[in-house]
C-alpha cells in the first residue's frame, strides 16, 4: 500500500528558529513529491520536486528530495508567527492520485 509518513506530527518553536520537517514515502509509481501549506482551510502549493538533490527555494522556505532514500525535507529559516500552519507532504503517482501524509502542525510562538 502506498504511504507517505511525516515527522514530527507537531512542533512548537519560537520566532527566529529554524525548523526542518521530514517526509518519507513508499509508493509504487513515484512521479513527484509536493509540499502544501494549510492555514485555516485551503492547502496552498509550496513546492514540487521531481529530481534528487536539487533544492527548491522560495524566500525562507526550501526543500530537497532524495529519491534513493525516499525522503524529502522542508526547511523554514527565521520562522515567523505567520508560518504557523499544517505542512502537508504528498506524492503524485499518476492517474490523478495524490497521496497526502498526515501533516506536521507547526506553531511559532512570538
Partner 1 sequence: DTEVTQTPKHLVMGMTNKKSLKCEQHMGHRAMYWYKQKAKKPPELMFVYSYEKLSINESVPSRFSPECPNSSLLNLHLHALQPEDSALYLCASQQRVGGNEKLFFGSGTQLSVL
Residue numbers of the site for partner 1 (CB under 8 A)?
31-32, 34, 36, 40-45, 48, 50, 88, 92, 94-98, 100-103
Residues 6+ apart with CB under 8 A from 37: 43, 44, 46, 85, 86, 87, 88
Distance in Å, CB of 71 to partner 1, minimum: 17
Question: Nearer to partner 1 by C-beta: 3 or 109?
Answer: 3
Distance in Å, CB of 35 to partner 1, minimum: 11
Distances (CA, A) of 46 to 62, 82, 96, 110: 9, 15, 19, 23
Distance in Å, CB of 78 to partner 1, minimum: 27
Question: Nearer to partner 1 by C-beta: 103 or 108?
Answer: 103
Q: Which three cell numbers stand for residue 22?
A: 521530514
Amino acid at each position: 500500500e502506498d504511504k507517505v509518513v511525516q515527522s514530527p506530527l507537531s512542533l512548537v518553536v519560537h520566532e527566529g528558529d529554524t525548523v526542518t520537517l521530514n517526509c518519507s514515502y513508499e509508493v509504487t509509481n513515484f512521479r513527484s513529491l509536493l509540499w502544501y501549506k494549510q492555514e485555516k482551510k485551503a492547502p496552498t502549493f509550496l513546492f514540487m520536486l521531481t529530481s534528487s538533490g536539487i533544492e527548491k527555494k522560495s524566500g525562507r522556505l526550501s526543500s530537497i528530495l532524495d529519491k534513493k532514500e525516499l525522503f524529502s525535507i522542508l526547511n523554514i529559516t527565521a520562522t515567523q508567527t505567520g508560518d504557523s500552519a499544517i505542512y502537508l507532504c504528498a506524492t503524485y503517482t499518476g492517474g490523478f492520485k495524490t497521496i497526502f501524509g498526515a501533516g506536521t502542525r507547526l506553531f511559532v510562538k512570538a
